[in-house]
Amino acid sequence: MAAHPVDEKLPALKMAASGLQHVAAMYAGVVAPPLIVGAAVGLTGTDLTFLTGACLFTAGIATFLQTLGIWKIGARLPFVNGVTFAGVAPMTAIAASTDDPSDALPVIFGAVVVAGLLGFLAAPFFSKAVRFFPPVVTGTVITLIGVSLLPVAFGWAQGPDPAADDYGSAAQLSLAGVTLVVVLLLRRFTRGFVKQIAVLLGLIAGTLVAIPFGVIDLTPVLDADVIGFPAPFHFGAPQFRLAAILSLCVVMVVSMTESTADMLALGEIVGRPADERTIAAGLRADTLGSALSPLFNGFMCSAFAQNIGLVAMTRIRSRFVVATGGGFLVLLGLCPLAASLIAVVPRPVLGGAGVVLFGSVAASGIQTLVRAGLDKDDNVLIVAVSLAVGIIPITAPHFYHAFPRTARIVLDSGISAGCVAAVLLNLVFHHLGRRRGAEETSRPMDAGEEIAAAHRAGAGVVPERDPAMP
């Protein structure tokens, strides 16, 4: 009996090439969170290289757990795991609220460990409670993730130092613009592998253009070793603070919700529908990978949705291909020289690529909202209020200045605050005392259309059939 395509082992060369393509498709997404958080805590170029390599290494470990699996851990589907974008804004909020910058990463790591362990224990129950996280909730949260990260890209586009004379100058913004244009042109006029790595090629092109401007700092590359290991607790032993833990527990719920949706989608694509047992095993892999990541100086891990699109496009459904990609991620994490290359990319170049990268996350959330049934008044209210709550920290950063610092760690993160609002509003409108069939629509033209149709019918006029309708 032939093996299911998910369990198929391809020839070595095809396996390696396909695995590299998965790494290329998600590489920029893996390195962006450590760059953002590392800059927020004031890391030097060398430490930033170390943090980036650690995140690559832990992404590979988490991918192994998800694709190969052990015991009841791992969906055993072609999932690539990496640092989740959902945690970036809360982690930077934690860093901003920490008195001693050197304590920021240990506090973040401690919160990730606790959130990961709690998520691991909750995985089998969460797989049953997924009905409380419909598309109207997940779409709102994913949209907020992208919107919350876009200001980071705009800041990068202006330069590395806000106090510098050339911050936001035409030269800096031009570098960002060139990178953005290259990415867009590659996405528009290329196909296949080149199209998938358009962001990576844009970063390379932007960096080459930046060389004559004298903004390239090769120190991280010159100081990096060819081989290295992410020493455990390089930035200090984890510290456990309640407010930070609560904030990242909210992120863990968001991450688990997103992973569940990804598993359901990928199961359909590869022809192996994800049942409750598969979802629970996949969530265990996500959460265990997250709990182990801080040991090697990594952050919270989650499935990467862009790789699901790659599976759908290439029709290569083997989980061993993705496991091979996980092996490449581990090797990159063990090679500080490779990890250091991203550290030399000028901030404006990162900003240009970030507009596409973070904007795509927001667009993905909007796509989910389109399927959420926004013709219903209740869903419109849930999205409207949740987005408003989530955008407060972006548009009015000092809005909660009078609140206790503990509360501000959650409230100052638009993702966390918006997620809490969306979940609570969804419970109120769709679960508490809700009668079936009681939903109203928010399409005010419908009534007029029905009256007009009735008049036409009464006058013997047959409405014209829309040729686009089936």
pLDDT tens, residue by residue, 376-414? 888 999 999 999 998 998 888 889 888 887 677 678 777
Give percent of the chain with pLDDT exceeding 70. 87
DSSP run (H or E) holding 303: strand 301-303
pLDDT tens, residue by residue, 312-344? 666 778 889 889 989 989 988 888 777 677 667
CA–CA distance, 325 with 24 (Å, rounded to integer): 9
Question: Stretch 186-204: mean pLDDT, rounded?
Answer: 80
- Chain-wide mean pLDDT for the chain? 81
* Among the ranges given (190-194, 210-214, 339-343, 423-427), the one the predictor scored with the smallest mean pLDDT: 339-343
Q: Report how far apart, in Å, the C-alpha atoms of 26 and of each of 188, 268, 441, 453, 455 are.
A: 19, 21, 39, 51, 56
pLDDT tens, residue by residue, 354-382? 888 778 778 878 888 888 888 888 899 99
* Among the ranges given (26-40, 98-112, 323-337), the one the predictor scored with the smallest mean pLDDT: 26-40
447: pLDDT strictly greater than 50: no
444: pLDDT strictly greater than 60: no
Q: Report how far apart, in Å, the C-alpha atoms of 313 and of each of 35, 36, 191, 206 are.
A: 29, 30, 11, 27
CA–CA distance, 185 with 203 (Å, rounded to integer): 13
Residue written as token pair 């036409």: 456
Q: Report how far apart, in Å, the C-alpha atoms of 349 and of each of 168, 230, 352 are.
A: 13, 27, 5
CA 153 from centre of chain: 15
pLDDT band of residue 106 (cuts 50, 70, 90) is very high
Question: Stretch 137-150: mean pLDDT, rounded?
Answer: 82
CA–CA distance, 18 with 328 (Å, rounded to integer): 11
168: left (phi over 0), alpha (psi -120 to 50) or beta: left
Single-letter residue type at 344: V
DSSP run (H or E) holding 277: helix 276-292
Looking at residue 383, its pLDDT comes to 93
Question: Stretch 430-446: mean pLDDT, rounded?
Answer: 55
Render 330-392 in DSSP notation, one character per residue. Answer: HHHHT-HHHHHHHHTS-HHHHHHHHHHHHHHHHHHHHHHHHTT-TTBHHHHHHHHHHHHHHHH
- Give the best-scoring range by mean pLDDT among 74-83, 127-136, 171-180, 223-232: 171-180
Specify the higher pLDDT residue, 350 or 342. Answer: 350
Looking at residue 448, its pLDDT comes to 41
254: pLDDT strictly greater than 90: no
- DSSP-assigned beta bridge partners for residue 70: 73
pLDDT tens, residue by residue, 148-185? 878 878 988 898 778 888 888 888 899 999 999 998 99
Looking at residue 184, its pLDDT comes to 92
Helix (H, G, I), strand (E, B) or coil at 95: helix
Looking at residue 419, its pLDDT comes to 80
255: pLDDT strictly greater than 90: no
Residue written as token pair 């919270």: 300
* Listed residue (395, 375, 418) closest to 139, CA to CA: 418
pLDDT band of residue 9 (cuts 50, 70, 90) is confident
7: pLDDT strictly greater than 90: no
Single-letter residue type at 157: A
193: pLDDT strictly greater than 80: no
pLDDT band of residue 89 (cuts 50, 70, 90) is confident
Looking at residue 459, its pLDDT comes to 43
Looking at residue 1, its pLDDT comes to 60
Residue 264 tokens read as 């359901």
